[in-house]
């Protein structure tokens, strides 16, 4: 999976080719959509029932998708097991930057609450690290704007996006700065790819 990211491969299509045992160029749009659901579902600790409901397949088929995914991507399975064990032992999980979230739900007497705790423990290091990276990028972008004395304003952060108001005369420079800041603020084993678009309003950027 790391190699796929490094080579700029469509990760959902890549996963579909592994799960459905097909060549990547033979993967259909529907198969890619199912693989995408598995990709994101896995890190939320999705059940075979939940996945089946989401992609409209029988529970047994969804179970086979999950099992095949974890078999082909054994490193992800090992990661999930390690995080679960560490969370139960320590009572918390952390992002790669060390930000901590306590998971008291893992010690609950209620099975459903413990299950929620397990899902939170799996998800937080991933989503939390993404949030940390975004905050670091925002700090870097604001720093660059101030250093260059631009009139550009950082307006909003929406999930993995930043929205800026930019005077026309600063547009090209800001686009280069923004892409560079978001892609290089953190160095990981896979590249961070940022896309920049401009329009007269937020809707036009979509």
| Nearby residues of 49 by Cβ (< 8 Å), 6 or more positions away | 59, 62
Spell out a b/e string for 163-191, using b for 16 or more CB atoms within 10 Å of the CB, else e: ebebeeebeeebeebbeebbeebeeeeee
Question: What are the structural domains of the chain?
Answer: 2-128 (1.10.150.20), 131-205 (3.30.70.370)
- What pLDDT, on the 0 to 100 scale, is given for residue 172? 96
In this structure, are residues 66 and 38 in contact, taking their beta carbons and an 8 Å threshold?
yes
Residue 156, H or E segment: strand 153-158
CB atoms inside a 10 Å sphere around CB 75: 10
Task: Give the burial class of 152: count Cβ atoms within 10 A of its Cβ; 0-12 exposed, 13-18 middle, 19 or more buried.
Answer: buried
Q: What is the pTM of this model?
A: 0.86
Please tell me the predicted confidence (pLDDT) of residue 45: 77
Distance CA 43, CA 45 (A): 5
What does the CA dihedral 23, 193, 72, 30 come to, rounded to 10 degrees? -50
Q: Which residue ranges of the chain lie beneath pLDDT 70? A: 206
pLDDT of residue 12: 93
pLDDT digits (tens, 9 = 90+) for 59-91: 999 899 899 888 888 898 899 899 999 999 999
| Among 73, 50, 52, 72, CA closest to 62 | 52
pLDDT in tens, 47-61: 889 889 988 889 999
**What's the pLDDT score for residue 140?**
96
At residue 19, the pLDDT reads 86
């Amino acid at each position: 999976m790391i190699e796929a990211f490094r080579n700029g491969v469509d990760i959902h299509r890549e996963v579909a080719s592994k799960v459905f045992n097909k060549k990547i160029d033979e993967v259909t749009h529907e198969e890619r959509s199912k693989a995408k659901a598995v990709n994101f579902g896995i890190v939320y600790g999705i059940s075979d029932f939940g996945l089946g409901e989401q992609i409209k397949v029988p529970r047994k088929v969804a179970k086979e998708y999950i099992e095949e995914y974890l078999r082909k991507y054994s490193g992800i399975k090992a990661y999930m097991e390690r995080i679960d064990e560490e969370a139960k032992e320590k009572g918390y999980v952390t992002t790669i930057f060390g930000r901590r979230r306590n998971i008291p739900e893992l010690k609950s007497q209620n099975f459903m609450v413990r299950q929620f705790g397990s899902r939170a423990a799996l998800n937080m290091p991933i989503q939390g690290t993404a949030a940390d990276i975004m905050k670091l990028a925002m700090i870097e972008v604001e720093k660059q704007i101030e250093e260059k004395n631009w009139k550009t304003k950082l307006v909003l952060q929406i999930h993995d996006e930043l929205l800026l108001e930019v005077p026309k005369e600063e547009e090209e420079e800001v686009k280069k700065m923004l892409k560079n800041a978001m892609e290089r603020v953190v160095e990981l084993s896979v590249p961070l790819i940022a896309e920049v678009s401009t329009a007269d309003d937020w809707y036009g950027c979509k």
